[in-house]
Structure 1
Amino acid sequence: MVFAVGTKFNIDQLDVHQVRTYHEKERQDMHKILEKYVLICGRAGVRADKLVVEMDSIEKGIVELVSQRGIGKLVMGAAANKCYSKKMTDLRSKKAIYVRLQAPTFCCIWFVCKGNLVYTRESKSERPNTDSVSPSIPVSPENDTVLRSRSVTEGYNEQVGLRGPFNEYRRVASDNHRIIFSGPTSGGTLRANFPSMSSDRSPSVASRFSSSSYGEMVGDSPTISLARTEGNDTAIDSSTLHHFIPGHHQPSSPSIQAESLNDEPAGSMNDELLDRLEQYVAEAEDARREAFEESIKRRKAEKDAIEARRRAKASETIYADELRQRRDIEEALAKGKEEANQMKSKLNKMLADLQAAQAQTSSLEHQLLNSDTTVQELEQKMFSAVDLLQKYRKERDELQVERDDALNIAEALRKQHSNGSSTTSAFVLFAEFYFHEIEEATRRFDPALKIGEGGYGSIYRGLLRHTHVAIKMLHPHSSQGPSEFQQEVNILSKLRHPNIVTLIGACPEAWALVYEYLPNGSLEDRLTCKDNTPPLSWQTRIRVASELCSALIFLHSCTARGIIHGDLKPANILLDANFVSKLSDFGICRVLSEDEFSEKSTSLCYRTDPKGTFAYLDPEFLDTGELTPKSDVYSFGIILLRLLTGRPALGIKNEVQYALDKGNLKDLLDPTAGDWPFVQAKQLAHLAMNCCEKNGRLRPELSSEVWKVLEPMRASCGASSFRMGSEERCEIPSYFICPIFQETMQDPVVAADGFTYEAEALRGWLDSGHDTSPMTNLALSNTNLVPNHALRSAIQEWLQQH
């Protein structure tokens, strides 16, 4: 078995070169370890030689060496170091267990692990006498006898050397085989050259025979050890030397042997030794040849095994392909079954639908029989609705006359009030409060009651004289404080308009202004959904725009020369409980006067330093310092764009202009306001862009151009449409809704495209130059509008019920 990184292979699965490489690496590692042990023994003053044996089983090799060498003491590992524990008392290695059971009983064995003694097997018999198998040549402690054999690859020459206390002798027997006796005075060397040998494992034999100090390792016999060289190893015990030199008798002493050799250098002993060596060389050659043939057979077997493995892999591939095909067929079969089941389910469903259709047909036939009665009832209801409509129209006309009369009376009273008003201080026209009342109302200006903070003061919510009010405290140390206080008192004390905040009173002692309290905060808070307040619907936003336009028209025409607000922005537009908008913060408003510095201009303006919020300020006002009514128109246009998109004021004009140019205005509309009617949204966008013209002369007039656009939109929305987007409403049938206004139709008409629209909305569509259908965008064959009386009657009936 050959071990690789993380796995192992059978040796029969590898070629000869791979096996040799593996064996060579194992030998190198073994020699490194043995060299360390020899070095340790040398440092301790003990002479040690290496003995290497190659066998298929390590544990069997150890037992065989113990038996052959008569080893009486042996130290061996009990287990791998990683398996060691302090509680370990028994052997875990299979090799150690085998040696403990099979080793001769004369050998005492110590089993250790990680430097700790784990188990000791005591010897139970005496070690056998090794004199019978040891060389009979006496050896002194100073001299040793060494037999070395060395092999080289593929054609090895083995040299056997014998060192002893002999003089140097040489004999050349032939060209291929020779015996050389050589050596200094202290010993001699015997060398024999043999032909190379090989086996099925390509073994190379290296043996070293040495005689150590007397009695050092194995009693009186010399110590025999086997060392590995380049090839595989073969064990040679001490008796091998005697087999090489049969019949050789040890002389009585080294000196006697030396004399005999000197007397007979070509004697019969050398001839006999040469004959023996030649015989062994021949036997070795035969063994090498047999090993070579066996190696060829083994290689052929390995090739056959590799071919069989390749065929097995091919068979596995074919099996995998067949298995995959079978799986595909099974999946296709399952899919077919599933489709069949689906078709069966669809068939059952179609049968059920057919039965339901048949039942519905029967029901419709039954309803058709009763349709005549239903038609008569609807006709009666339609006549009643027509009578009711005429009644409502008459009441509307009467209310319009009453409204006109009331407006005339109010205008007359206003003129009368303005002509008879006193030129004295305006404090007498409204309530005046004391400072302690202001403190009590605000709980000594509790920060929890603060609802706003501006550039000139703070605003508190309070209860003053059993009335909820908003108290504006101006900064007394500010340069604008007194002037702003006087300005608002002078203006708001004389103004009364439904969309202008009401000034209840003032406290001159504390520079405080008392207004009516508007619980829904400012328009800015609602556009940004401050404190998670619900957003305003698009209908409410249209109403806020029209109310703001009405308030500005009133300001610009309330006096002989008009008043300019000058700081128009969503933060100064407040909302009451019904989301009615009211304009506030008149601290920097100005009364118009004739332009004294322009000879050619007859316009009214007020020259001052620019003040207010930059994003809403008129560019002409910033350039010239002239505040005109068109300055409020510019600010109104920016507010209108914010109502449409819900985006910040800075840069909004460019964004809307770009969207109009690209035709994607719908993507810019605020989605939180609901589904904007595109026609109205586009009309408002163009109106706002006209109000934001840089040149003031190109801006539209509020009273004529702007009001004519906003007032019809406000009227078309209806009073019931100004609820918040989050409030629950009754579900209106979809065919009651005008596709253009997205509101319940009051006067439905049918166009040439077959769709029903609100008459006012469709006329506005056609009057704006369109000749295509609002729904299909296809050209209309004609512009005739046919009243849809049946739908109108159904709408009126539904409204009466809801």
Structure 2
Amino acid sequence: MENNHHPKEKIYVAIGTDLSEGFATLKWTLKRWASASVKIVILYADNTISKEYVYTPIGKIPASSVREEKLKVLDKSEEAKTDKILSKLVAFCGKVKAEGLRIGRYEDSNHKVILRLITILHITKLVIAFSFLRPPSWKWRNAANASFSLYHEKPDFCELFVIYEGKLVFLREGNNEALLIEDDQGMTVSKLTERPSFRGWIVGKLFPENAREKNPCESASPAISTAASLDQWEKHSEELDKYFNELSSTSTANEGEIEAANDTMIRSQSELKMAEKMGAEERLDVLKMRIRDTKEKIQMNREEVKANIKRYAKATWAIGLCTSRVNELEAQTHEETSKRMELQKDLDRTKEELSEIHIEVEEKRSKLDSILQLQRELSNKLQLSNSAKTRVESQLEKAVRERSEMVQEIEELRRQRDVYQRRIEFCREKDAIGMAKKLSSSSSSSSSNGLGFDYSREFSAAEIRAATDDFAQRLRFKSGGDWTNVYKGRISKTTVAIKLFESVDDDFCQEAFLEKVRLMGSIRHPHVLSMMGFCTELKCIVFEYMHNGCLRDSLFSRQRTTSKGTNRGLKWHDRVRIAAEVCTALSFLHKATPAPFTHGNLNPSRILLDKNKVAKLYGFQSYENATIMSDVRAFGTLILQLLTGRNWAEIGEDAILMMDSSTLSENLDKKGGQWPLDVAVELAGIARCCLSSSDEIEHSEVSSRSVMRWVNKVRKKADDLRADGESLVEEGETNIEEEHNVPSVFFCPIYQVSSSISSFEYVLVQ
């Protein structure tokens, strides 16, 4: 019993338009594999003409000359005919499982199409009808060549069977361009030669569709009259063929009779010449012979007349049949012409509608272009967001990996913080007692200088010269122009900065110098550079020394290390803290009484950093030359410089656009480390708010006090992120970080600065 789990073997049968041979080929296939369980796949070539031509009731015409709607109708008609033929072929297989595949129009020859199908379908057994390789327009010799080409070019896995008139044949070339068909014993079954057929010629001329549909059981044409005419031609096709052969043989016989008559006439003339020389008896015999020949000719002429009458009747019958067919074709042509005129009218109306649709399409296309432009812009923004998201995710993964290592360090730092806090409390009490004693002694001495304030000490010229080694050039580290110089010095083991004023006009300089001393002495704030003293004799002011220089060098200088090798780069949390400290100092100046005090020249070069990178302002201008809003705008510029690390002389539209939330992550200064995006966005918002302020809205919500509250809120968020371990501490950093619970400006000088810093810092803190 057959195993049902194995698929049935497929036998492919290629059939052309000659259905009689197709049925014979199927019959041979069913008989050949009657004992095996197989599946028949019928490959039917329904049309053998090029795609550039179509069949119509008036014959084969170019497809370009037929309307598209008519082409669709013709294609549907052809498909219906093909489906009906395939169903009959499948039904012919009976109980054997079969299916049909239609091979449509193609440009290549049939055998090339079959070669491609063998490769695509992996055909192992192919039974092909000889007529499949010989379309009606081909010669027998071309079909034979196609058979040989198919046999030589087919793959080795394909077994080929060629069937002609229901018999398996073996092809070989014979003499005189004949194709010999042999059986399996090598015996010649038949010999195919090219022979013209009157029936094929006349039917092919008058009925092209009949030339490719010879099966009497095929579906008829949709027109009833055309179907009846086709049936009539099918019935009389053999008679027409015989009639054509008779005409050919009759013409040959007539030629022979003419030659015989000519010979008889020549012979009669020669006999007459000979009879003149004969006797009476001989002449009588000749006359009798001639009478007998004449009677035979008369009888032959009578028979020929009868035959001519029959031929005339048959010719009349054939002419009448052809005339009726011609009339039918003319009627169909007239009908097609009227239909074409109607279709032309429909085409004109369709063209008008098409023009209207084209205008509408152009309008919608313009709208679509604008939408596509918007889509491209949104796609670019989405791509930027995705890239930013990818970078943030990678940074987050790195932070998560290192967080476990940082937890232990954070715990250790918290333990040290508790120890330092206890030390701070102890040092505060101790230094408070000593500072009180110093203030009491300094207040008595300063009251004698006649300046009217108690915040600075007046040094003698000898003390200043001793501190600067008599103004040695090696200690001069800045020149402020023709009338100011800054020297580094040491007073009472404390490093200080001494600013020396020099001018020709002594009276004016003395008055200006005392005014500057009064101004600097009246400002006491943790984030404003402290004046430690002055000398009226040498016209110099003593300031506390700032070890890390100005903010401009830390932000914009390429050399980020000091002479001792310590890192001077500012991380993002240091920049947030510096912004908060500068804002606190500005708010303090703007709240001064009886009149607000402005800085007037706020920029990174006017902000100094001490050992712990605590920011302090200096370099004030007269408040008559500046406004509070100018300080606020300058503070907005400072925030942008802290975020991007760029030194802008003026803030333009490009800088404002860089602060947009969608592009901010790409413009942040990479030297500041991994910025928390929410902190950077809030700082950028503060900068935009400050830069949008103007002098006409002095009393608006954009004030230094409101900005300070906003900045302190951002600073608190940054401190919380650092306390929770969300940011990384740079390796090798030796500076002591500020504690998030206690502001750095309130740290004990012993903890925050070197022991050599002046005790004036503690006074400012208190």
State if a TM-score over 0.5 links the two structures. Answer: no
More helix by share: 2
**Larger relative contact order (C-alpha < 8 A, sep ≥ 6)?**
2
What TM-score, normalized to structure 1? 0.32
